[in-house]
Amino acid sequence: MIIDFIQKGGIVMYPLFFVAVLAFYLLIYKAIELGRLALHYKKHQIIFQVRDLLKENKISEAKQLLKYDGPTEKILAKGIHYLQEKYSEDAIKDRLEMIYEEETHQLEKRLPLILVLGEIMPMLGLLGTVSGMINVFRAISAYGTSDAAALASGISEALLTTEVGLVLAIPTLFFYTVLNSQVENITKLMRHAGFAIVTISRVINKQK
């Protein structure tokens, strides 16, 4: 039945469904990845716990909280290492900024591709419609407009690809926006983690 439906829309329906399957696969992959991180950070207020322990100079206890392999934990773990090595505040800022950029890049990985695929779908649908309408007008020029029912059927099939393209693109772009929002929330936590480390560094330098 699906094959018949695809064949109704013409050859453009094949790349359109291929793009849709790829986009939905990437969406599911990123949703699982970001969902796990979001759930973890919702349950654990890791930044405040580590900050309070560092203020009390309980470095070993703070490290014990950073076993989870998340971007915020990486910034905090590296920050603790820099504090132990007595790096200057500016040096800590520069190094944490580099880690922040690397982790942000990892979080955003594949999201631009999802966006591109979501934007391609309606264009492929429009391409299929234009191609179908060209065939309809060719039939009109060859056989005239005596068979109105056949003409209406041909136009309906030509418009099918645009409809399918929009139906597939709308949820793709919607979920892309949701995932992008999750990335922004996680990067905000990473910035807070970096700020906490820099603040502790400032306090330590004042005590010297």
Q: Would you state the pLDDT for residue 176?
A: 97
What are the residue boundaries of the structural domains of the chain, listed by start? 2-117+175-207
Whole-number Å distance between alpha carbons of 100 and 106: 10
Which helix (DSSP H) or strand (DSSP E) does residue 148 occupy? helix 148-207
Which residues have C-beta within 8 Å of that of residue 21, sequence separation ≥ 6? none
Using 50, 70 and 90 to split pLDDT, how confident is the model at 4?
low
Q: Where are the beta strands (DSSP E) in the chain?
A: none
Number of H helices and number of E strands within the chain?
Answer: 8, 0
CB 65 within 8 A of CB 53: yes
Nearest partner of 7 among 164, 150, 119, judged by Cα: 164
Which residues have C-beta within 8 Å of that of residue 4, sequence separation ≥ 6? none
Using 50, 70 and 90 to split pLDDT, how confident is the model at 133?
confident
pLDDT tens-place string over residues 49-73: 888 888 888 888 888 889 888 999 9
Which helix (DSSP H) or strand (DSSP E) does residue 166 occupy? helix 148-207
Q: Would you state the pLDDT for residue 191?
A: 94
Instruction: Flag whether pLDDT at 46 surpasses 80.
Output: yes
Hey, what are 139's tokens?
């039939």
Write down the pTM of the prediction: 0.84
pLDDT tens-place string over residues 135-194: 777 766 666 666 555 566 667 677 888 889 999 999 999 999 999 999 999 999 999 999
Using 50, 70 and 90 to split pLDDT, how confident is the model at 13?
confident
